[in-house]
Structure 1
């Protein structure tokens, strides 16, 4: 098992690549985004992205993001799909401690025992729904990539069904078939994931709601709370708490 600590600018690791080991990408500060051919995974500081071996992916993050990347031999931990996982306070401290180990750490001593606990905790880390599936259909994927990059877009579903030359009912069926979500659910997920980096930068919640396509602040807070388990204000307060405990 290997560990690495990086502070990376936005463009540094977006190039698509794959490797033979499990990678856990965790942002101690900032929000990171992992794109695969099938989905986008977004991890704020109390989450991480589990990337299985052999999966083509690219990682993006805002300037100032501090990434702790763990590289794990596949035989050392049970397999799981690419997904965002919850990082408990204990697991966070284990990751931060391990990131300072030398590459050739003492597996038979205290460092090896810490790694054993870390691997056990990682295997039990629950998955989170902070992912956005990409459709296999190229035309539908084009719409989805546009909406993901333009979360403030308020064009109705009818605009996109006309663009594809199909009925609203057919487009809705395409979304469910290819993403497991209907159009409204998929676009709401895209908007909420786009809001995370903006909140991490401490932009005003009202401005973030508008920038992510919400006309109602209360609707944004309700949707955010349902997905993240906390309000946007609580999310920003946790950033202050992390800063106070450095």
Structure 2
């Protein structure tokens, strides 16, 4: 049973909150009546929900709709800046869990909101900042860092094996053989339950492990080989396609964007 937390939105549409975590910290299962945007300035946050897991790299964020039960696991020193959002503030707030890109504008607005008063006058600077934050939330780009879990027990057990041993060769043929089903059948059911192709799910699982290990200071070479890549360059190419920079530069680049 998750703990239920409530916030007062009688005077403003969202409540900003700053909190820093140490490596290894965790928050047990809980939920809020409001929506939540967790923005990380450093470190990596792993968010567990009943529907899947969501890896939040530095400078990104995760959106959790109101009522979503979740638990947090912290990797590295995490500086988190969170918005608790009234679910009635806008009619078109995101309706599903998703890892999102935090634009430079939204990042600065979140920082500014931390210094705003609880109550404000109509037409004031505070009102405009709050309303602009809500505008920016509606247009956040979704990033491919979510690992949706299938509903059936057999497919969930398969995904747990992959997540626990991501460095092994997880082909569709191998998975189908282990489940004693045809490859085409497995591919169809897997896509229907997760929304992803099997190979894409495996790639995301490996990326989630890589982000956690790199955040702890492991070398690119070690991470690449343990995740089953033939060379660090092959791993770096995949990493760059997803994140826009090489793994060697990603965490230093994230730190240079500054902690608030």
Is TM (by shorter chain) over 0.5?
A: yes
For residue 8 of structure 2, what is the aligned residue in structure 1? none
Return the alpha-carbon distance in structure 1 between the equivalents of residues 49 and 169 of structure 2: 26
- Contact preservation (8 Å) 1:191, 1:213: no
Deviation at 1:154, TM superposition (A): 3.4
SS at match of 1:58: strand
Deviation, structure 1 residue 222? 1.9
- Counterpart of 2:58 in structure 1 is 45
Say which of 1, 26, 29 aligns to 1:12: 26
Residue from 126, 139, 142 that aligns with 1:124: 139
- Alpha-carbon separation, structure 2, partners of 1:238 and 1:37: 32
Greater percentage in helix: 1
Using a 3 Å threshold, how does the CA distance of structure 1 residues 32 and 98 change in structure 2: closer, same or farther?
same
Q: Which moved more, 1:124-133 or 1:110-119?
A: 110-119
Q: Structure 1: how far apart are the matches of 2:170 and 2:68?
A: 34
Q: Matched residues in 2 for 1:176 and 1:30: separation?
A: 31
| Contact preservation (8 Å) 1:3, 1:101 | no
- Report how far residue 100 of structure 1 moved: 4.2
Give the aligned length. Answer: 243
Structure 2 gap segments, 5+ residues each: 1-13
SS of alignment partner, residue 31 of structure 2: coil
What is the CA–CA distance in structure 2 between the aligned matches of 1:185 and 1:94, rounded to whole Å?
Answer: 34
Matched, 1:163 2:178: yes
Q: What is the CA–CA distance in structure 2 between the aligned matches of 1:237 and 1:137, rounded to whole Å?
A: 40
Check if 1:203 corresponds to 2:203: no
Correspondence 1:21 to 2:34: yes
In structure 2, how many angstroms separate the alpha carbons of the residues matched to 1:237 and 1:62?
Answer: 16
Unpaired runs of 5+ in structure 1?
Answer: none
Secondary structure at the counterpart of residue 26 of structure 2: coil
Name the stretch that deviates more: 194-203 or 21-30: 194-203
Give distance in 1, aligned partners of 2:252 and 2:31. 35
What is the TM-score normalised by the length of structure 1?
A: 0.87
TM-score, normalising length from structure 2?
Answer: 0.83
Superimposed CA distance per residue, residues 80-120 of structure 1 (whole angstroms, 9 cap, x where no aligned partner): 12211111122112112223445x24354332322222222
| Distance in 2, Cα, partners of 1:234 & 1:45 | 12
Provide the rounded CA distance (Å) in 2 between the counterparts of 1:7 and 1:157: 41
CA distance in 2: counterparts of 1:181 and 1:135, whole angstroms: 10
Query: 2:10 maps to which residue?
Result: none
> Displacement of 1:60 after TM fit?
1.8
Query: For 1:219 and 1:63, how far apart are their aligned partners in 2?
Result: 25
Q: Within 5 Å, which residues of 2 pair with 1:224-243?
A: 224-243=239-258
1:34 and 2:53 matched? no
| 1:1-246 alignment runs, 5 A limit | 1-9=14-22, 10-13=24-27, 15-77=28-90, 78-80=92-94, 81-101=96-116, 104-106=118-120, 108=122, 109-154=124-169, 156-243=171-258
Q: Is the 8 A contact 2:26 2:71 kept in 1?
A: no
TM-superposed deviation, 1:156: 4.8
